[in-house]
Structure 1
């Protein structure tokens, strides 16, 4: 989709950069969700490659990451306070009692919030200071645009991981 094409979202018609960002994010979300289609909870929790990643965990992690960055856009760096390393590690795993359907429903809810922000015509130049962390340069701000491109990149990266894991589980390829 080009910047001159439009995305219709309910009663809002998006054009330009907002439409492009929403389309790019939507495409990578689709690939990630498509990769887990038809799997059981047990299959979604498998870690069949050399990594510790599982498909349900990837859905859970991308949900957590997108929610965290959405909260950052709305509330600033305070949104990242209280996030612990164990929570980050656990976000890559399906825990007992979690289901693929539940993880996908959570992902849809978070995606809807992000989409609503984009369709509202939010100012993409608006920025927030990044929280203090060793991986961020001091006194750095990220615009909504930069946050959204980060979320798109992270979603795309994990969709690729998911494709490899799914192919290892049962030979199914989401992109081939």
Structure 2
């Protein structure tokens, strides 16, 4: 059936199901893009940007974990930890791709569980202040999930370009491997 077959979504209904299904789809595309990487490939820059595939894995895992924390803690005094962000896009020497892929899976599951458990997608959540957002803002859980979908779509584009420059793999080619219709394009 190919690589792109099962999207795992928590047992929910309605709008939560729709949002988490789209988010799971975006995550699945990302996982296809970073499949079968070596440690060296995960750290290699293939464009003029500093981005690497391993760095994107770390960033997205950290982002899901952080957003889940923002939703559950609802801290009206929270600030973005700029020190923690310093290496958010970089696998450090003592970090491995395998460890961050494990954390990616755990963080996405934890984020999804937070969404399953919120009473309403309309709940307003205080957002951490940051240099780029010095005034406290509030976002609904729905908006936060939509922003997460947007972020994955954005970084999927980065990842696909980096991977294609690395070894020629494109995500669409990878998900259509072995499909009869693939040769028509």
Calculate the TM-score normalised by the size of structure 1.
0.85
Instruction: Give 1:49's aligned residue.
Output: 47
Name the SS of the counterpart of 2:139 in structure 1.
Answer: strand
Instruction: Give 1:99's aligned residue.
Output: 96
Q: 1:116 aligns with which of 93, 106, 113?
A: 113
Conserved? CA contact 2:33–2:163, under 8 Å: yes
Instruction: Give 1:59's aligned residue.
Output: 57
Tell me how far 1:77 sits from its aligned partner.
3.8
- Consecutive unaligned residues of structure 1, counting only runs of 5 or more, are 1-6
- Consecutive unaligned residues of structure 2, counting only runs of 5 or more, are 1-7, 174-185
- Mapped partners of 2:92, 2:77: distance in 1: 24
Greater mean deviation of Cα atoms: 159-168 or 117-126: 117-126
The answer to whether the aligner puts 1:154 opposite 2:151 as a matched pair is yes
Tell me how far 1:139 sits from its aligned partner.
4.6
Number of residue pairs the alignment of both structures matches: 166
Name the SS of the counterpart of 1:128 in structure 2.
Answer: strand
Q: 2:73 aligns with which of 72, 75, 81?
A: 75
User: Aligned-pair RMSD on alpha carbons?
Assistant: 2.1
Tell me how far 1:78 sits from its aligned partner.
5.9
Conserved? CA contact 2:127–2:139, under 8 Å: yes
Tell me how far 1:56 sits from its aligned partner.
0.5
Instruction: Give 2:172's aligned residue.
Output: 175
Calculate the TM-score normalised by the size of structure 2.
0.81
